[in-house]
Structure formats: structure tokens, C-alpha cells
Structure 1
Amino acid sequence: MHALTEAQIRAGLINVTQSERKNLTLPAEFGDTPWSAMDFYGARDRKLALVGYVVAVLDDEPTGLLLRQAESKPRSRAQCSWCADIHLPNDVLLFTAKRVGDAGRRGDTVGTLACDRFQCNANVRKLPPLAYTGFDREAARAARITAMRANVEAFVRDVRDGL
């Protein structure tokens, strides 16, 4: 992923009001973001505990969503819908995003289970364990990265297009 500026992130948010866009707070360490090791940008708002946002590049344009964390946590260990990692070092939470346009103004939302701090980029880049003799760990890692990118992009498109 190419480096994004704060202005690009704010401008790319497609399911927010002007006040939500203006009040968004980026992480203090935003300047240290390892862009080359990311396929999407995700962060939690440091001032609003239940708010996060993700930005993926769709059709060469940064396209982002404001997400709200559900107030209750899953009762059992959930699997992230994006990275699908089964050895997670972090929690997985339910996030919802308002749909774009009239549907969102009517209250329509789309939900997903995602890593609590959007650690998916790091999770899929870990070298998987050797499953059997001759198992190509690098190919497996590349496949996980590709699948995660597709999962995040599909979620963003679903919120944007209402599919």
C-alpha cells in the first residue's frame, strides 16, 4: 500500500458525516506507519473508544469506512473475517459500518468480525508453521495476504454499493 496522508484518509471516508470526518482522531504514531507492510490501513480513534476506521485502495482511490465496535464482546473466541488467523495474539470484535447514501441514513449497517486493533496486516505476514514435508510456507503466506486484501475490499465494497 502506498503511504496515505491524514487528508487522504479523511477525504476517503465514504460513510461519515462532515462532523464525523472533522472529529476523527488519528493515532499519535500515524507518522510511523509501516506502509510497505500493509494492504489496508486500520486504526482506532484515540478519543472515541468504540470507533475505528479502515481505508483500502479501491480502483486506485483510498476508500475508507468509519466503524463502530459493538458494546458487547463475542461470548466465545471469534475468528477474524479478514485475516482468518486461527493463532491470534489479539481479540476479535464485532464492528458495524453504516451503509453509504440513503440506506445509511435510514440506519442500515453491515457488520464484520475483525481484529480489535486491525492487526490483520501483521497477522497474515507471519510465516505459517510447516504443515507437511514440502509445504511452501512463502506461498501460503502470499495466499493469506491476497485473501485478506480481497476480504477487506469486499467488505468496503459491500458498504459502499449495498450488495
Structure 2
Amino acid sequence: MQPLTEDDVRAAFVNATADELERLVVPMSFVLADWDHLDFFAWPDPRTRGRGYLVVERDGVPTGVVVRAADGGRSRAALCNLCHTMQPGNQVALFTARRAGDAGIRGDGVGTYMCADLGCHENVRLAAPLAPGELRASVDRRIDGTRQRVEAFVERVVGDADA
């Protein structure tokens, strides 16, 4: 990802209300972000339980979405739909995002199961160590797949709002 400022991040959100942007708090890790090695930037809101933020580049332009976790938890193991990492059930949550533009104003949204801490970027890299005979390319494919799935989720949020 290209290096972003806090103002860049705030301007990137396509489905945030003015109040949400005013309350948005970037994490402390923001100033330490190694942008060259980030596929996307995601973090849970430290002030509002269940709210999170996700920023990804679309055609070189940062695009952000506000997501909300559904209440309640799961008791069994679950698979994150973004990083494809198996987690204990309480570490995966259904997150929804209001669609951008008129669709979001009408109440339309999209959802998917994500790591509850929005740590997919790290989780896919910290997954099981390479087995004997496993190639680094398989890890790179997991990383690329995660980035592609995050971009596809954001595309679903943006929908026809770009038109």
C-alpha cells in the first residue's frame, strides 16, 4: 500500500457518515505501519465495541469501509472468509458494512465472517509454519488470496456508487 496520512484515511471511507468520521480513531500502530508490506489496513474501533475499519487500495486509490460485528458469538471453530484461517468460534464474527451511496442510504449492506480483531493481515502470515517440503509460494498464495478477498468485499460495498 502507498503510505497514508490520517487525513488520507478519513477521506477514503465510502460508507461512513459525518459522525462516524468525526469519531474515527486511528490505532497507535498507524504511525508505525510498514506501508510497503501492507496489503490492506484494518483495525477495531477502540471506543465502540463491534465497529471496525478496513482500508484497501482500489486501482491505486485508498478506499475504506466501516464494518460492524454482529452481536453474539459462536461456540465452535470458524473460518474467516478473508484470510481463510481457522479460529476458535469467539474469534470470528459476522461483520456487515453499509453499502456506499444510495444503496446504503436505503439500508442495503453486505456481510462476511472475519477475524474478530480484524487481524487477517497478520494471521495469514502467522499461520502454521512451513512444513518440510512446503514452498514459500504457498504462503504467498495465501497472502495474495487474502488481499483479493478483502478487495472483493470492498467492491461489494462500493457496488454501483462509483458510477
AA of the residue aligned to 1:3: P
Relative to structure 1, is the Cα distance of residues 130 and 29 closer, same or farther in structure 2, using a 3 angstrom cutoff? closer
- Greater helix percent: which structure? 2
Any conservation in 1 of the 2:110–2:157 contact (CA below 8 Å)? yes
Q: CA RMSD in A?
A: 1.9
1:84 alignment counterpart: 84
Structure 1 unpaired stretches of 5+: none
Q: How far apart in 1 are the matches of 2:134 and 2:4?
A: 36
Q: How far apart in 2 are the matches of 1:83 and 1:49?
A: 22
1:34 alignment counterpart: 34
1:21 alignment counterpart: 21
1:134 alignment counterpart: 133
TM-score normalized by structure 2? Answer: 0.88
Aligned residue pairs, count: 159
Q: How far apart in 2 are the matches of 1:135 and 1:51?
A: 37
Q: How far apart in 1 are the matches of 2:23 and 2:133?
A: 51
Q: How far apart in 2 are the matches of 1:112 and 1:150?
A: 14
Moved more, 148-157 or 116-125: 116-125
Cα deviations by residue, 1:24-44 (Å, 9 ceiling, x for unpaired): 111233212233332110011
TM-score normalized by structure 1? Answer: 0.88
Any conservation in 1 of the 2:85–2:127 contact (CA below 8 Å)? no
Structure 2 unpaired stretches of 5+: none
1:67 alignment counterpart: 67
| 2:50 is aligned with 1:50 | yes
Any conservation in 1 of the 2:77–2:86 contact (CA below 8 Å)? no
AA of the residue aligned to 1:155: F
Q: How far apart in 2 are the matches of 1:66 and 1:86?
A: 24
Any conservation in 1 of the 2:79–2:87 contact (CA below 8 Å)? no
Instruction: State the percentage of identical aligned residues.
Output: 40
Q: How far apart in 2 are the matches of 1:19 and 1:128?
A: 41
Relative to structure 1, is the Cα distance of residues 100 and 142 closer, same or farther in structure 2, using a 3 angstrom cutoff? same
